[in-house]
Chain A
């Protein structure tokens, strides 16, 4: 059976994060993400990191789902922890011949890693607790340019179709004796298959456009949504944004400067 990339798999659970109005959710969490990323104080970032974990726990998303997605991201984030201590100049902690490990480097590395993980972990309660199409509709309601929302909608709708087409191509190739590998022959064949996929995508795009025009498409994609903000949505959104602002106030007040 063909497996689809499932970003919506846990969107229908029930948690405070799932019940949060999608529009308020997107705004509040984006605010918090930017706030944490722009901090420059290790202690405050650590607080942000812990709060991110708390939000993640509050979203009740299964642990394995989160880990599965964090694994990929770690590949990009963790190298900073290794590289920074050796490359940033400052007070040496110890040196080994020409290689020096600095205190500032270590601090930077930890800072970057904590910020990055906080941001990624906040994406989960923001995106994975709502069906993706609902998030897109929320973006549309928040006056994100319609053309951008349309592009995201089409990506979301046709990603599955193209994954399906490509997997069928691969299966057809494998059933005629093709073996996936890194030989130049295999790579060339995959290249051909990808080319085929582009051609098919192009043809499909044309047919979809005809179908859209047949139903009156004139440049913008509209839909109906029944979003309703209630008191607890306002409270939660204000709380998150206030927290995000507070982090910076504390930072500028110099309370926790390391």
Chain B
């Protein structure tokens, strides 16, 4: 039986100016799971994330963390369980040096000085930030800042890690590194990961389940299920991974597959399997209907 890490029931939220951001959002996240929340700009993703540790409180609805309502528990208790990494590291790193930033959370949790130092050291080691302890945030690169922001939350050792656009504004290497770090944290320490993202290519690697949010929860499913639903994608300004598109094209040329791969790893596996089944090669061809199908496919992804 899987334990529920976060349960949201009928959550509504309205900005002070009257704009509705969240309408009747309900979802649950199980312990150790990796969740991606995707949706267009202004869909309320960030607002939803801020409810997860009680920073924002819905006028309506209920948010439970490990079975306890965030409205009833003191915030000092919730932040031990739920750590939020904000999108802009400059918002997150507000102390003069990296060490101070990593120590900030643990100190506020009331830990003793040697425990705080131990946690800071451990976090620095596990995220590969050795030698950066005394650096000021404005002397870090974008990728380093993002890692530092993650470290500042990880030093509190949360059981649930909430990430707002973790891969935004990163160069490909830093992006890959960050994805690996988050994956490792989930696999090694069983941390539940919830992230809001526009980076569809990162979703297959980082999410067991995907929620499509557009003020309300539009859809929920595995990455495979969500990305296969072309109408759903179009209606919510979303895209699908490039690998997925490529295999859709291959399918028009007669490549035989039921489930399209979403990542390079899956593609390699898929191709290997197909080649083995077909006696050492892949057969592609052009029929009369191939051109029509390719045309249909292209128009599908032009976001009309």
Contacts and interface: CB of A to CB of B under 8 A. Distances in A.
Interface of A: 4, 8, 131-133, 136, 153-154, 156-158, 160-161, 164, 204, 207-208, 210-218, 221-224
Contacts of B37: none
Given A133-B97, A217-B108, A160 B153 contact: no
Contact of B94 (A4, A160, A211): A211
Contacts of A221: 95, 104
A158 to B, nearest CB: 8
Given A156-B96, A207-B88, A211-B91, A216 B105 contact: yes
A132 B138 CA distance: 14
The binding surface of chain B is classed by DSSP as helix
Interface in B122-146: 134, 136-138
Nearest to A223: B100
B53 to A, nearest CB: 6
A214 B91 contact: no
Nearest to B155: A215
Contacts of A132: 96
B96 A157 contact: yes
Contact of A161 (B86, B100, B138, B152): B138
B108 A218 contact: yes
27 contacts: A157-B95, A157-B96, A157-B136, A158-B94, A161-B138, A204-B91, A208-B91, A210-B55, A210-B91, A211-B84, A214-B79, A214-B153, A215-B104, A215-B152, A216-B75, A216-B79, A216-B105, A216-B109, A216-B156, A217-B104, A221-B104, A222-B107, A222-B108, A223-B95, A223-B100, A224-B103, A224-B116
Contacts of B239: none
B94 A208 contact: yes
Interface of B: 50, 53, 55, 75-76, 79, 83-84, 86, 88, 90-97, 99-100, 103-105, 107-109, 113, 116-117, 134, 136-138, 152-153, 156
A207 B91 contact: yes
Contacts of A218: 76, 108
A223 B108 CA distance: 10
